[in-house]
């Protein structure tokens, strides 16, 4: 009996689907969701213009798949704890979180579209943002919140934990979003792997000092008026 050609067809379909995701990552990162065209994505993928509808349904579904794919790859490459043990001191876990965050958004790998995709989503949100927050960002926020709560002390209130956590993340995002200005002000700043390590150390030290000061201020009794 002749071998069925179906596995070969399935492999070809899987390859086309993957090519569309990778081409979509490049195009969406370069021009954003709204300016990206299915035709250009299919051209780069070497696929028929109808391939996006066949494999994903429409451009919106492809975009959601692209975001999920590159976010998953980024976290697989740079997990939140970067291998630091669960019971490690909170300052060590905070540095791992900051370093992981920076490595993900400054990854210069050939398929590292994660940073640009998320940056564009923050500036010009799409319908995919709700799912991103629920599935990807909220778990990361909760991970950081546990660390910050421990650094502040067991009686830290939710608002203080939230504000301190956002301040940690905002430092990382500043360097990414303002990279064109920072590099023009300080040409020696090129965000190489070595500089990212230095930046991770700085943001961690700065954050630890600020969180400690916040905890100290909260522990002081309020003066009566």
SS (H, E, C) 135-178: HHHHHHHHHHHHHHHHHHCCCCCHHHHHHHHHHHHHHHHHHHHC
Answer for the pair 161, 145: CB distance below 8 angstroms, yes or no. Answer: yes
- Asked whether residue 35 is assigned to any structural domain, the reply reads no
Question: How many residues appear in the chain?
Answer: 225
d(C-alpha 151, C-alpha 211), whole Å: 7
Cβ-contact 120, 28 below 8 angstroms? yes
Residue 29 in domain? no
Q: Per residue in 47-77, is it b (16+ CB within 10 Å) or e — as a string? A: beeebbeebbeebeebbbbbbbbbbebbbee
115, 162 Cβ separation under 8 angstroms: no
Give residue 142's domain range: 68-218
174: number of CA atoms within 13 Å, CB side?
Answer: 11
The pLDDT profile of the chain, 225 residues, written as one tens digit per residue, is: 444 454 454 888 899 999 999 999 999 999 999 999 999 999 999 999 999 999 999 999 999 999 999 988 988 999 999 989 888 999 999 999 999 999 998 987 755 788 888 888 888 899 999 998 998 899 999 999 999 999 999 789 999 999 999 999 999 999 988 999 999 999 999 898 899 999 999 999 999 999 999 998 766 655 554
Please indicate, yes or no, if residue 78 is contained in any of the structural domains. Answer: yes
**Residue 39 resides in a domain:** no
Domain total in the chain: 1
Q: Among 152, 207, 149, 148, which Cα is nearest to 174's?
A: 207
Handedness of CA 188, 105, 118, 46 (dihedral sign): positive
- In whole angstroms, what is the distance from residue 22 CA to residue 111 CA? 8
pLDDT given at position 113: 81
In sequence order, the 6+-apart residues with CB closer than 8 A to the CB of 26 are 44, 113
- Say what the pLDDT of residue 222 is: 56
Q: Is residue 125 part of a domain?
A: yes
Residues 6 or more apart whose CB falls under 8 angstroms from that of 211 comprise 148, 151, 152, 164
State how far the Cα of 96 lies from the Cα of 83, in Å rounded to an integer.
8
Is 123 domain-assigned? yes
pTM assigned to the model: 0.84
What CATH number does the domain containing 122 carry? Answer: 1.10.357.10
| Domain presence at residue 150 | yes
Within a domain: 88: yes
């Amino acid at each position: 009996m002749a071998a069925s050609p179906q596995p070969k067809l399935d492999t070809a379909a899987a390859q086309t689907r993957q090519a569309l995701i990778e081409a979509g990552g490049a195009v969406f990162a370069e021009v954003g969701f709204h300016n990206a065209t299915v035709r250009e994505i299919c051209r780069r993928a070497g696929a028929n213009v109808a391939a996006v509808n066949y494999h994903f349904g429409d451009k919106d579904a492809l975009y959601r798949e692209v975001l999920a794919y590159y976010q998953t790859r980024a976290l697989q490459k740079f997990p939140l704890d970067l291998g630091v043990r669960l019971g490690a001191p909170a300052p060590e876990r905070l540095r791992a979180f900051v370093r992981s965050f920076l490595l993900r958004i400054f990854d210069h790998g050939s398929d590292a579209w994660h940073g640009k995709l998320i940056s564009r989503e923050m500036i010009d949100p799409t319908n995919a943002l709700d799912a991103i927050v629920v599935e990807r960002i909220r778990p990361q926020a909760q991970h950081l919140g546990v660390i910050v709560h421990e650094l502040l002390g067991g009686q830290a209130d939710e608002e203080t934990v939230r504000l301190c956590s956002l301040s940690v993340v905002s430092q990382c995002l500043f360097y990414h979003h303002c990279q064109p200005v920072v590099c023009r002000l300080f040409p020696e700043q090129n965000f190489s792997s070595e500089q990212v390590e230095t930046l991770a150390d700085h943001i961690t030290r700065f954050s630890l000092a600020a969180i400690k000061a916040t905890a100290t201020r909260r522990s002081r009794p309020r003066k009566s008026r």
